[in-house]
Amino acid sequence: MTLDRINSAYEYLHRTTEQRPTLCVVLGSGLGDYADTLEGAQVIDYRDIPGFPQSTTPGHAGRLVLGKKHGVSLACMQGRFHCYEGYTPAETVIPLRALIRLGIKRLLITNAAGGINESFQPGDIMIITDHINFASLNPLAGPNLDEFGPRFPDMSFAYDKELVAALKEAAREHGIDVKMGVYAMMKGPSFETPAEIRALRVLGADAVGMSSVPEIIAAAHAGVKSAALSCITNMAAGILNQPLTHEEVMETGRVAAGRIRTLIDGFIERIAE
């Protein structure tokens, strides 16, 4: 049962570290090395944490890095679990919910996404202002976990205004150009068709990806304030006359990684009390 798994993960973390992080940073593919800059870093492999989903890809188990930045106690997730890997939506948020039990109050998510808005370019960074859950996957389906939040949580303020403002200000301070827009989640793992991308554009999406929405929903459920950034790694299907590849996504991610690290750091500096 999900609750038992969340609790065993929480209990393990509670006895394995004295750190009590208040901010969780989810580092998307190619962005994991931000965690190397934490002070007093303590690294825990996901595979050592009972209750965590276990990665099926050898060598990609994922790691939790706990430490401090600008006086803020952080839990950085290097690697996340996706529904397209076969995990249920509820399983993908076990790590986040274990960290919420440990005391997380805020969440910063990063991901890779395809650009739907034609004014975007690969390498752009988009601050997510809202999302559309086209995957229709919801981690709250099933019995409600009352200890986390209500049966029917409000999603009107899922992307916290103050945290979004902190990201914008950090971007301005460091001279990093950022776009703002709506993120559409598709289940994947196949990329979208050109017709799907045209439909998503008409429906108000600026970027498309295969992650993050379950975490944002689980955070909103528990009253955890969230903000999220997409690295626009490619133009979505059909916009350019070329096929999409995972290699392109990874390569553009590497190009933008430095700016995203600076942005994460500026954000943490701003929200530090």
Q: Which residues bind ligand HPA (CB under 6 A)?
A: 112-114, 186, 191-192, 208-210, 233-234, 236, 244, 249
For ligand HPA, the closer CB: 208 or 218: 208
Tell me if 89 sits within 8 A of 214, measured CB to CB. yes
Tell me if 110 sits within 8 A of 137, measured CB to CB. no
Annotated active-site residue 211? The verdict is yes
For ligand HPA, the closer CB: 213 or 271: 213
Q: Cα–Cα distance between 145 and 106 in angstroms, integer?
A: 19
Q: Residue 120 CB, nearest distance to ligand HPA (Å)?
A: 11
Q: Which residue is nearest to ligand HPA (CB)?
A: 114
Q: Residue 113 CB, nearest distance to ligand HPA (Å)?
A: 5
Indicate the DSSP class of residue 54.
P
Q: Residue 241 CB, nearest distance to ligand HPA (Å)?
A: 15
Annotated active-site residue 29? The verdict is yes
| Active-site option among 39, 60, 141, 250 | 60
User: Which tokens sit at 13?
Assistant: 């973390």
Tell which residue, 79, 88, 76, 101, has the closest CA to residue 9: 101
For ligand HPA, the closer CB: 247 or 273: 247
Annotated active-site residue 112? The verdict is yes
Annotated active-site residue 210? The verdict is yes
| Active-site option among 234, 235, 237, 257 | 234
Tell me if 227 sits within 8 A of 108, measured CB to CB. yes
Q: Residue 233 CB, nearest distance to ligand HPA (Å)?
A: 5
| Active-site option among 90, 98, 210, 237 | 210
Q: Cα–Cα distance between 129 and 30 in angstroms, integer?
A: 23
Annotated active-site residue 39? The verdict is no
- The 8 Å CB, 24+ separation contacts for 41-46 are 41/65, 41/66, 41/67, 42/17, 42/66, 42/67, 44/13, 44/16, 44/17, 46/79, 46/95
Annotated active-site residue 60? The verdict is yes
| Active-site option among 112, 207, 220, 235 | 112
User: In the chain, what is the straight-line distance between the N-terminal and C-terminal CA atoms, in Å?
Assistant: 37
Q: Residue 14 CB, nearest distance to ligand HPA (Å)?
A: 34
Annotated active-site residue 205? The verdict is no
For ligand HPA, the closer CB: 117 or 233: 233
| Active-site option among 70, 84, 199, 269 | 84
Tell which residue, 230, 233, 207, 208, has the closest CA to residue 108: 230
Three-point CA angle 61, 142, 128, nearest 5°? 60
E-assigned strand segments in the chain:
23-27, 39-45, 63-69, 72-78, 106-115, 125-133, 178-185, 207-209, 225-235
Annotated active-site residue 84? The verdict is yes
Q: Residue 13 CB, nearest distance to ligand HPA (Å)?
A: 29
For ligand HPA, the closer CB: 53 or 253: 253
For ligand HPA, the closer CB: 65 or 232: 232
User: Which tokens sit at 90?
Assistant: 């509820």
Annotated active-site positions, please?
A: 29, 60, 82, 84-85, 112, 210-211, 234, 246
